[in-house]
Structure 1
């Protein structure tokens, strides 16, 4: 990673232990590598999900407009979320030549701001529209069920989305923020020591 060359040069001239810098550099590189992998994995999963939903549409040939609308809403929601997700992650995974530590810190702070927007408004809208898409998609098939079946089916879907919203979402956000804040704080500490 070229991002840290100027920081490394200045650091080597300081009386601060070199080991601390090496530890930070390894953490920062590891974080960027993991984020790049997570981004790639998210892209693959969401695109494969969109393809799978399209195959379901083609294979089962739904008759109700609500089913088709549910499919379109779900696919569009995933693609729009993917666009904003990639836009945010582009800041830290895009290869950059000879970028300094101050510019890297700016990129991290910009990424943190975009990530916060994704974690609040973005994920809330994503879950809401995916939920709407699933409910509309299921209507055609649920209409053929007994009242008991409808209640159980929609109940399971509502409980699953509520569980994701109330349990998984806060945990994932907390984990993401802890990692990013750790890297940002370490870089800010090093920058302050060099002043």
Structure 2
């Protein structure tokens, strides 16, 4: 007995899995709310750090120009996340649940580009400005006492800068990248199903 089944016709006849867009939007909403909360916390902390820098400048005015430049660089470093998270907040608030699926996905891709820029360019510049700012700021106070105290203070500062660059920054990059890439894989799957 010969079996004449057309496998291609059977395969095409199977129903394609439909993307559960409501579940996807709920997941996106939870993710967006978590990022909005994180952004608000970072903005508040960075503004407090800038206020502390201004308070230090006004209450204990530095004598050296290097110290003033250090405070300005540190405040500029603290201002970078405020600016970057402010842009991200506008994008997250732009995710309206009543817009079309295609528009929703396009906005998510804009968020993806902003997150990538924030993870790489802004975070590296943030650590660079903070490292330079703290190094220049601490110079006056470290060497105003004794030489031994200055060398010890500079060694501790250099150790702290090295820890930031080689331990904390890569971990922060990896953690943010992993959580966002898992989320974006799910979004890309949904986008591909919508385009078919």
Q: How does 1:13-32 map to 2 (within 5 A)?
A: 16=17, 21=21, 23-32=23-32
Q: CA deviation at 1:44?
A: 0.1
In the alignment, the residues of structure 2 paired with residue 143 and residue 115 of structure 1 have an alpha-carbon distance, to the nearest angstrom, of 41
Q: Deviations over 1:49-87 (max 9, x none)?
A: 100111111111222111112111211232244213322
In the alignment, the residues of structure 1 paired with residue 150 and residue 121 of structure 2 have an alpha-carbon distance, to the nearest angstrom, of 31
Structure 1 unaligned regions, length at least 5:
1-13
- TM-score under structure 2 normalisation? 0.80
Q: CA deviation at 1:95?
A: 5.3
Q: CA deviation at 1:33?
A: 0.5
Are residues 1:178 and 2:158 paired? no
CA RMSD of superposed structures (Å): 2.4
In the alignment, the residues of structure 1 paired with residue 95 and residue 22 of structure 2 have an alpha-carbon distance, to the nearest angstrom, of 21
Q: 2:102 corresponds to which residue?
A: 102
Q: CA deviation at 1:23?
A: 4.5
- TM-score under structure 1 normalisation? 0.80
Higher relative contact order (CA 8 A, sep 6+): 1
Q: CA deviation at 1:15?
A: 7.1
Change (3 A) 1:158 1:93: farther
Structure 2 unaligned regions, length at least 5:
1-14
In the alignment, the residues of structure 2 paired with residue 105 and residue 173 of structure 1 have an alpha-carbon distance, to the nearest angstrom, of 24
Q: 2:84 corresponds to which residue?
A: 84
SS at match of 1:61: coil
Q: 1:50 corresponds to which residue?
A: 50
Kindly indicate whether the alpha-carbon contact (under 8 Å) linking 1:77 and 1:126 is maintained by their aligned counterparts in 2: yes
Greater fraction of residues in helix: 1
Kindly indicate whether the alpha-carbon contact (under 8 Å) linking 2:18 and 2:193 is maintained by their aligned counterparts in 1: no
Kindly indicate whether the alpha-carbon contact (under 8 Å) linking 1:131 and 1:161 is maintained by their aligned counterparts in 2: yes
Q: CA deviation at 1:21?
A: 5.0
Kindly indicate whether the alpha-carbon contact (under 8 Å) linking 1:89 and 1:111 is maintained by their aligned counterparts in 2: no
